[in-house]
Structures are given as C-alpha cells and as structure tokens.
A and B are shown apart, each in its own frame.
Chain A
Amino acid sequence: KAGVTQTPRYLIKTRGQQVTLSCSPISGHRSVSWYQQTPGQGLQFLFEYFSETQRNKGNFPGRFSGRQFSNSRSEMNVSTLELGDSALYLCASSLGRDGVKAFFGQGTRLTVV
C-alpha cells in the first residue's frame, strides 16, 4: 500500500509569491491534515479536511488555505509568501474524521528568499 505522497519535495520561492503544495493520502483515507514544522515552533496544525470539507483550522493567517478533492487528494496554498513561511510542510492522512492515528508524508521543504 502506497504511503502519503507529497509533491514537490523541495521549493524555493521569492517573498510575495504564492505556492501550492500537493498531498495524495493513503488509499481509502478520507481525512487529510496539514502541519507546518519549524525548528522554533515545532509541529503546528494548519487545517484538516474530511470529505472535501474543512473540519478544523489552526491559528494561521488567511494567507494559508487549502482544499480537498473528491478523490481525497488535497492541496495547500500560501499566498504573499513571507520569509517566516520557510518551513517543512507536512501532510498526514487517516481513516477517520478526527485525524487520529495519522500517517505522515515526507513533507515539502519550502524556502522563501
């Protein structure tokens, strides 16, 4: 069974640009959660989608948005990039609605210059 796949693995963007990250969950998993990981703040919850609906949202500005498609694949978008957005963005999928017992992808490392 294939794991969670995130693309691209690495990205370099300039301040002010926008970026879209993609996540394909484990087959059969309908819940997809997104996290930001930085050395200073650790793993922080961005949002969670289940059956194309955003169920939970973390404490991030509106520049961070996401969506989920009918095949459970999810995308995350960050607009007007700031230097502080440089981080490892992780996607996790799970069977249930609550994001518990989630399996993570390898992450997308975003560098904003």
Chain B
Amino acid sequence: QKEVEQDPGPLSVPEGAIVSLNCTYSNSAFQYFMWYRQYSRKGPELLMYTYSSGNKEDGRFTAQVDKSSKYISLFIRDSQPSDSATYLCAIGNNDMRFGAGTRLTVKP
C-alpha cells in the first residue's frame, strides 16, 4: 500500500462546476499537507499549505484536512478552463510524499 493514495482521474467538469480532489494517507504521524498544481511541461506550483485539521481558504480554493480519517481534500469553486492541470497532494514531515496526481480538465 502506498503511503499517499490519490485517484489519478482523469476528471472532466464544465466551467463553473465545483471540483473536489482527494488524497488519503497511511501514516498518522504526518504533519504537513500541501496541494500543488502542475501545468504540462512545467514544475509543480504550490497552491495550498496547512499543518492542522480543518479548512483553509484562499480565493476559489479550499483545502480540508481530516487527520482522524487521514484524508485531505482540495475544493475548487467556480472552476475555470485555466484550472485545467494536474493536481498533486503532498503529505509528510521531513520528506514529502506525493500522490500520483489527478488530471483535471475544465471545459468551457
């Protein structure tokens, strides 16, 4: 079993939809949770960072962490075609473990 599991998708939604991306992890000692966005042929871009259970909001993005269930989510409201990318979760302490990435397409 991988330490971090993420559904690779692909996920296709219409413009304006709410997108939900999820990861589960196995090690309850992990303290840091991040979401990255990666466009084709680019390096990952840090979107959200948190170290506690609960919600963290930044514009159209909300990161949610449930440590009791070892489950994290990223919600994108009012999705735009420019949100089309691969979204990676990263979880860990000293060395981050990345999920496989979910490829998202937002259709106009």
Mark contacts of A43-65 with chain B using CB atoms, 8 A cut-off: 1 yes-contact digit, 0 otherwise.
Answer: 11100100000011010000000
Closest Cβ neighbor of A103 among chain B residues: B46
The verdict on A106 contacting chain B, using a C-beta distance below 8 Å, is yes
Q: What residues on B are CB-neighbors of A56 within 8 Å?
A: 94-95
* Interface segment, one of B19-27, B37-45, B57-65, B69-77: B37-45
* Interface segment, one of A13-21, A68-76, A78-86, A93-101: A93-101
**A12–B36 CA distance with the chains assembled, in angstroms:** 28
Q: What residues on B are CB-neighbors of A42 within 8 Å?
A: 88, 98-101
Interface size class of A (residues with CB under 8 A): 20 to 34
A98 & B46 in contact (Cβ 8 Å cutoff): no
Number of A-B contacts (CB under 8 A): 57
A100 and B42 contact, Cβ closer than 8 Å, known pairs A45-B95, A56-B94, A56-B95: no
Which A residues fall within an 8 A CB radius of B?
Answer: 4, 6, 33, 35, 42-45, 48, 55-56, 58, 90, 97-107
**21 sample A-B contacts, Cβ–Cβ < 8 Å, listed by A number:** A42-B88, A42-B100, A42-B101, A45-B97, A56-B94, A56-B95, A90-B44, A99-B94, A99-B95, A99-B96, A100-B49, A100-B92, A100-B93, A101-B34, A101-B49, A104-B36, A104-B45, A105-B43, A106-B42, A106-B43, A107-B43
Which B residues fall within an 8 A CB radius of A?
Answer: 32, 34, 36, 42-46, 49, 88, 92-101
